[in-house]
Amino acid sequence: RHHERLAKMFDMWCLHIPVQDRTTFQGLVEHVERTVKSESSRAPDRPVYLVGESVGACIALAVAARNRDVDLVLVLVNPGTSFHRSQLQSLSALLDLVPDPFHSSTPQLLNFLTGNFMKMSPRFGGAGQALSEVASGLLPSLMYLADILPKESIVWKMKMLRTASSFVNSRLHAVKAQTLVVASGNDELLPSRDEAERLRGTLKKCRVRHFRDNGHKILLEDGFDLVTTIKGAGDYRRSRQTDYVLDFLPLSDDELEKAIDRDRLLTFATDPVMLSTLPDGKIVRGLAGLPRAGPVLLVGYHMLMGFELGPLVTGVLRSTGIHIRGLAHPFMFNESSDQLIPDSSNYDLHRIMGAVPVTAVNFYKLLSEKQFVLLYPGGAREALHRKGEEYRLFWPEQSEFVRMASRFGATIIPFGVVGEDDICDMLLDYNDLMKLPFYDILDKKLNEEGLKLRYILILF
């Protein structure tokens, strides 16, 4: 399901293990390792991505532990490192007692082999007659499954997963690679959600993305897109260092629709209207006054919580085809932020939409690429303004961004938003929160990456 989109980003290699193959886990690791080393030597400035599901994730971790000097990015999908705490642990012991060909009709084993198919089982669990009819209808398929996956092959795979889990867990301390763990919340075979959190606490550079409603075979399920997940987590890069400007990939139609859906309720409730100014000074409804070629710098005022941001960016993109690249708080890109917020995917959409950390270098690159750049000089302080500060600007006395824009001959478009600060009353603000126990510690953590931003821009 994912090869077509992945192939536009990567040179694809796929590991295939034939049913009758009995290569040991160590042999598979060495096989993948040879390919990794070959590709790394051929293109030393590019990372090698290893995407592994279940036992494949164990192979990826083992390769990373043995090759710490190779630039690797691991994407681990429901990793088998939790085997010893899973249903498969007991199932593997039971398998020897189950006669052929009935081994393939064991519910847990069917889930292990076919994944999404077993999501039908709860619908029939309470109806004996219906279950009987379904089982009789499935019998020919189960017999065919037993032919192509004999018990011997499954026993071997279970043993390999046991070996793989033990091998990798004893070497997690040696893994230095950038890692993304994809965990299904409805994984019926492995405790993937808990395992993802364990790996996040164990591995040095690890992000986690949870998918609450997906099962063990998430890569086969509709509604999950591996490319979007990698992009959203900020784990796509073309070189040794992430370049948020040049590594950006245009949105797919599905990604744009998800961005629109996220703000659909807000858009429906507020019915925002966009106005623009023509060259002759006439104000018109719509975006006819917006230039069609960059570089352009849009400088605006943040309303409460920055709720205007989503409808603004998606509205401009849908109306004109112009993609606005926002300069965002570094907290949204910091790996440590995953530890501080309840849902670490909160900022994924910002990254997918092309936001970059607000630094002088990124600002320079965007303008040099003739992009449409969005800047809020008031930043988070303006979006999180306090009681009585409605419509108040928190801009610096020196407009340091003007010099940068003039260097590239960029058009500067100031804009404002009216109405959002009028639709609610603020009950608690920053001053109130600082009186709560321990909040000052959290506040310091949240802001430690952004203290010197304005100083950097001025120096540039």
- CA pair distance 396, 110, nearest whole angstrom: 62
Which one of 223, 242, 261 terminates a domain?
A: 242
| CATH assignment at residue 9 | 3.40.50
pLDDT, averaged per 10 consecutive residues of the chain (460 residues), comes to 92 88 93 96 95 96 96 97 85 65 53 49 41 46 56 82 95 96 92 95 93 92 93 94 93 90 84 91 94 93 84 91 92 73 79 92 95 90 82 80 91 89 76 73 61 39
Residues 232 and 356 in one domain: no
- CA pair distance 129, 436, nearest whole angstrom: 59
Q: Is 443 within a domain?
A: yes
Q: Is 234 within a domain?
A: yes
At residue 296, the 3 state secondary structure works out as strand
- Per-residue burial over 14-29, b if 16 or more Cβ lie within 10 Å, else e, is eeeeeeeeeeebeebb
Residues 296 and 218 in one domain: no
Q: Is 248 within a domain?
A: no
Residues 300 and 201 in one domain: no
At residue 427, the 3 state secondary structure works out as coil
- CA pair distance 377, 372, nearest whole angstrom: 16
Residues 297 and 196 in one domain: no
pLDDT value of position 140: 52
pLDDT value of position 374: 95
Is 301 in contact with 378 (CB distance < 8 Å)? yes
Element housing 381 (H / E): helix 379-383
Residues 175 and 297 in one domain: no
pLDDT value of position 135: 44
Q: What is the DSSP letter of 120?
A: G
- Per-residue burial over 289-298, b if 16 or more Cβ lie within 10 Å, else e, is bbeeebbbbb
Integer CA distances (angstroms), 383 to 12, 84, 273, 362, 390, in order: 43, 47, 20, 22, 10
Could you tell me the sign of the dihedral formed by the alpha carbons of 259, 245, 403, 372, in that order?
negative
Which one of 190, 214, 242 terminates a domain?
A: 242
pLDDT value of position 89: 76
Q: Is 388 within a domain?
A: yes
Q: For 214, what's the count of Cα atoms within 13 Å in the CB-facing half-sphere?
A: 20
Residues 171 and 258 in one domain: no
Residues 326 and 212 in one domain: no
The number of domains in the chain is 2
Q: Is 91 within a domain?
A: yes
Both tokens of 222, joined, read: 């509709």
Element housing 112 (H / E): helix 107-114
Q: Is 247 within a domain?
A: no
Which one of 213, 242, 271 terminates a domain?
A: 242
Q: Is 108 within a domain?
A: yes
pLDDT value of position 113: 54
Is 153 in contact with 17 (CB distance < 8 Å)? no
Residues 416 and 441 in one domain: yes
Beta strands in 85-215 (DSSP E): 178-184, 206-211
Residue-number span of the structural domain to which 58 is assigned: 1-242
Q: Which residues pair with 257 in a beta bridge?
A: none
- CA pair distance 460, 439, nearest whole angstrom: 34
Residues 73 and 100 in one domain: yes
Residues 328 and 186 in one domain: no
pLDDT value of position 175: 97
Q: Is 20 within a domain?
A: yes
Sequence length of the chain is 460
Element housing 72 (H / E): strand 72-77
Both tokens of 378, joined, read: 């008031």
